Amino acid sequence: MSSIDTQVLESLLDMLEGDQDVLAEIINCYLMESPKIIAAIQTSASQGDADNLGKTAHNLKSSSASLGAMDIHQLCLELESKGKNGNLAGSLELVSQLINEYAQVEIDLKKLLQSSSCTPRYL
Amino acid sequence: MAPSIHTNHTLVLVVDDDLVIQMQLRLAMEKEGYEVMVAADGKAALDICLNSPPDIVLLDAMMPVMDGFICCAQLHALDPNISILMITGLDDQGSVDKAFEVGAVDYITKPIHWAVLKQRVRRLLQMHWLIKEFQYKVKQEQLVAKITQKIRTSLNLELILSTTVIEIRKLLKTDRVIVYRFQPDGSGCVIVESVDPEWSSMLGRVFKDTYFLDKSSHKYRHSNVYVIEDVNDAGLSPCHIDLLNGLQAKANLVVPIEQEDNIWGLLVVYECSKPRKWAKSDIDLLTQLTYPLIMAIQQAELYQQLEVANQKLQQLANIDSLTQIPNRRSFDQVLEREWKRLEREQVPLSLILCDIDFFKNYNDTYGHQLGDECLKEVAKIIYQVAQRPGDIAARYGGEEFALVLPNTDTTGAICIAEIILAYIRTRNLIHESSQISSYLTLSLGIATIIPQSSSSPKWLIAKADEALYRAKLTGRDRYAIYEYSLGELGYESRNVN
């Protein structure tokens, strides 16, 4: 599970007092919301809409970090910065990295949901 | 509502457009035992705050529609006491500075460290409650001061009590506050009330049953505050529950107002919409207020006694003790007053002086006791005659009486004089030692004037006296008139038979 920082998930589960059902709920929410945001990021990048790119990348950044998807967080950070600065050079490349990375994160998170124990500690 | 520090109810508002983060924040706060509301943007957050103000707001800095900073400023403007915790990016010192500028009390960075968040919220809430409690205490003290001040400046008990119930209802944010007063027979009546229009009024209601009395003789003694948090769950007797249901009460606080060993009345606070867990500060406020209230009641009662005594004194000063009609002092006051009034209005004022004929002989023949009875009889007659508003019949001195007749010209005064003479004749009071009749007779002197600044009441009295003298000279048992318009020669005397 290289795409997910399990420590982050562990501390989230601590906060939830070990409530794995609720953790699953949060992960499901992330898996529901993120593809929409990624599509918006892709559109913004291909249309050269810097302002929107910054905003949409910001949206994905926090939720990804909160679930330990640190690579996505990093990619979003870069995209957000490009959007803010209005310099979109290399952004399409970053978006395609983001899509690939998200595909991995999605797989890992789904695995996590399917595993009967659903306990990050044993991943 | 009173400070919620005394209850476990804490309301947290989470504002974040990122649904994943919003969900995590909500769960984190729910795990802490708080009630949580969520909003996805600043506008929605403001709407929520207007309807149900939260104790703390967790506010994301970067949001669409209305960003966190504008929202924070508007929330702060709405209620400066609201605790706002801003959530900013880790690398964003500018945002942190901006957050404090617009009224946030603290901030936390993303990614959120959950233990830090929970601890920070706990600390902010503690501060929030302390401030609220302090503000409530200040308000409470202001209320006590206000009522104490009212008591110092007013002796009007009803006003003091009305102010008290209004202010208590305002401060406790409750539905109805009353003062109930006991009568000696154990019944009682609601004498003042402040009630939310949504609920029915109890004002003026009389309770004849002994319910309140029973309570007063037991539980209310020794300054006990009687506390009911939920009428239907307080182990009350069915009749007690019926009574409270009839008053739409879901919860109440009853504080006796005691004077020494005597219970004067009750101060009662009702919550009508729902049961209420009363805060200690609510109860303290009421017990704190009973002392100034008792002072006010004592003062007002003393003042009432003084008023009665004053009235009595006033009466003694103005009423002739023998005949029980107004005395000379009263006559002087009325004549002076009417003179001034009629001088302004330029209408006639008449005066009749009236003397019992051969009264000295009467006393010599029948003794002073019967002489007094005779004076009373005559006083009664002239008192009955002077019945129009403004008329006054007074004992002028000795066996002499006077009638002040405002708005009365000579013709009117003659009419009154004739009635008096006719009246005394029909009474047929035996007077054996009178030199003109076998019955008691009167002589009357009439004077009329439209009051002028060049003249005076003294002048009018002198002229009526002259006319009286003339009535005596011309045979008694008659009236004589002095008319200003006739000058010094204007005497006319008549014996009406």
**Residue B22 maps to which CATH number?**
3.40.50.2300
Q: Do B24 and A65 touch (CB under 8 A)?
A: no
Q: Any bridge partners for residue B207, and if so which? A: B188
Q: From B112, which residue of chain A is nearest by alpha-carbon distance?
A: A66
Q: pLDDT, tens digit, for every residue of B411-426?
A: 999 999 999 999 999 9
Candidate from A14, A55, A66 with C-beta closest to B24: A66
Say what the pLDDT of residue B176 is: 95
Read off the pLDDT of residues A74-91 as tens digits, 9 standing for 90 and up: 999 999 999 888 888 888
**Hey, what are A78's tokens?**
């870069």
Please compute the mean of the pLDDT values over residues B50-67 and round it to a whole number: 86
- Looking at the fold, whether B104 and B229 belong to one and the same domain comes out as no
Q: φ, ψ for residue B346 (rounded to 5)?
A: 55, 55
B224 and B105 both lie in a single domain: no
CB < 8 Å to A66, chain B: 20-21, 24, 110-112
**B63 and B189 in one domain?**
no
| CATH label of the domain that carries residue B468 | 3.30.70.270
Question: Which DSSP string do the residues of B18-61 spell out, in sequence order?
Answer: -HHHHHHHHHHHHHTT-EEEEESSHHHHHHHHHHS--SEEEEES
Residue carrying the six token digits 């804490």: B10
Q: Does some domain include residue B313?
A: no
For residue A20, how many other CB atoms are within 10 A of its CB?
15
Q: Are residues B293 and B186 in the same domain?
A: yes
Interface check A24 vs B, CB under 8 A? no
Report the predicted TM-score, pTM, of the whole model to 2 decimal places: 0.57
Q: Are B248 and B180 part of one and the same domain?
A: yes
Classified as helix, coil or strand, B317 is: helix
The backbone region for B186, taken as left when phi is positive above 0, alpha when psi lies in -120 to 50, beta otherwise, is: left
Portion of chain B with pLDDT greater than 90, in percent: 49
Q: What is the pLDDT of residue B496?
A: 55
Q: HSE (CB half, 13 Å, CA atoms) of A22?
A: 16
**Residue B308 falls inside a structural domain:** no
Would you say residue B488 has pLDDT above 70?
no
pLDDT of residue B209: 61
Beta bridge mates, B444: B354, B479
CB pairs under 8 A between A and B: 54
CA distance B110 to chain A (A): 7
Mean pLDDT for the stretch of residues B441-458: 94
Q: Are residues B107 and B253 in the same domain?
A: no
Q: Is residue B396 part of a domain?
A: yes
Task: Calculate Rg over the CA atoms of chain A.
Answer: 15
Question: Cα separation of B266 and B257, whole Å?
Answer: 5
* Domain region containing B479: 328-494
What burial class does residue B449 get, using C-beta atoms within 10 Å of its C-beta: 0-12 exposed, 13-18 middle, 19+ buried? buried
Q: Is residue B318 part of a domain?
A: no
In a domain, B322, yes or no: no
- Per-residue model confidence as pLDDT tens digits over B158-186: 888 998 899 899 888 999 999 998 888 77
Would you call B114 an interface residue with chain A, using a CB distance cutoff of 8 Å?
Answer: yes
The CATH number assigned to the domain holding B236 equals 3.30.450.40
- Residue B148 domain-assigned (yes or no): no
pLDDT at residue B491 in the model: 54
In a domain, B320, yes or no: no
Answer yes or no: is pLDDT of B386 > 80. yes
Segment (H or E) for B266: strand B262-271
The DSSP symbol for B430 reads: B
The whole-number pLDDT of residue B497 equals 47
Flag whether B310 is in a domain. Answer: no
Task: Say yes or no for a CB contact (<8 Å) between B27 and A26.
Answer: yes
Q: Kindly state whether residues B294 and B201 are assigned to the same domain.
A: yes
- Give residue-wise pLDDT tens across range B304-334: 889 899 988 988 889 999 999 999 999 999 9
Interface of B with A in 304-333 (CB under 8 A): none
Is residue B12's pLDDT more than 90? yes
Q: Is the pLDDT of residue B495 over 70?
A: no
**pLDDT tier for residue B148 given thresholds of 50, 70 and 90:** confident
Q: Which residue of B has its CA nearest to A73?
A: B111
The predicted structure's pLDDT at residue A3: 84
- The pLDDT tens digits of the residues spanning A39-75 come to 999 999 999 899 999 989 988 998 999 999 999 999 9
Cβ partners under 8 Å of residue B429, min gap 6: B374, B377, B439, B440
CB pair distance less than 8 Å for B27 and A22: yes
pLDDT at residue B485 in the model = 54
Cβ distance of A62 and B110 shorter than 8 Å: yes
Residues B464 and B352 in one domain: yes
Report the pLDDT averaged over residues B253-265. Answer: 83
Nearest to A15 among B21, B28, B110 (CB): B28
Q: Say yes or no to pLDDT of A1 above 60.
A: no
Identify all chain B residues contacting A15, using CB atoms and an 8 Å cutoff: 24, 27-28, 31, 114-115, 118
Neighbours of B144 (CB within 10 A): 16
Q: How much of chain B is in helix, strand and coil states, percent to nearest 5? A: 50, 20, 30
Residues sharing a CB contact under 8 Å with residue B70, sequence separation 6 or more, in sequence order: B42, B102
Residue B221 pLDDT: 42
Q: What is the pLDDT of residue B259?
A: 79
- B120 shares a domain with B59: yes
Pairwise CB contact (< 8 Å): B31 & A15: yes
Domain end point (choices B83, B105, B136): B136
Number of domains observed in the structure of chain B: 3
Which chain B residues are Cβ-neighbours of A8 within 8 angstroms?
111
Residue B83 phi/psi, 5-degree rounding, is -90, 120
Instruction: Extract the tokens encoding B163.
Output: 């102010």
- B27 and B164: one domain? no
A63·B21 Cβ contact <8 A: yes
Q: Which of B457, B458, B463 is nearest to B485 (CA)?
A: B463
For residues A92-106, average pLDDT: 94
**Cα–Cα distance, A41 to A34 (Å, whole number):** 10
* pLDDT for the residue numbered A59: 86
Q: How far apart are alpha carbons A59 and B40 in whole angstroms?
A: 12
| Cα–Cα dist B183/B163, whole Å | 23
For chain B, the average pLDDT equals 87
**Pair B417, B477 in one domain:** yes
Q: Tokens for B182?
A: 């006991």
Q: Are residues B486 and B344 in the same domain?
A: yes
DSSP B169-225: HHHHT-SEEEEEEE-TTS-EEEEEEEE-TTS---TT-EE-SSHHHHHHHTTTTTT--
Residue B211 has pLDDT above 60, yes or no: no
Residues 46-65 of B with CB under 8 A from A: 62, 64
* Lowest-confidence segment of A97-101, B194-198, B389-393 by average pLDDT: B389-393
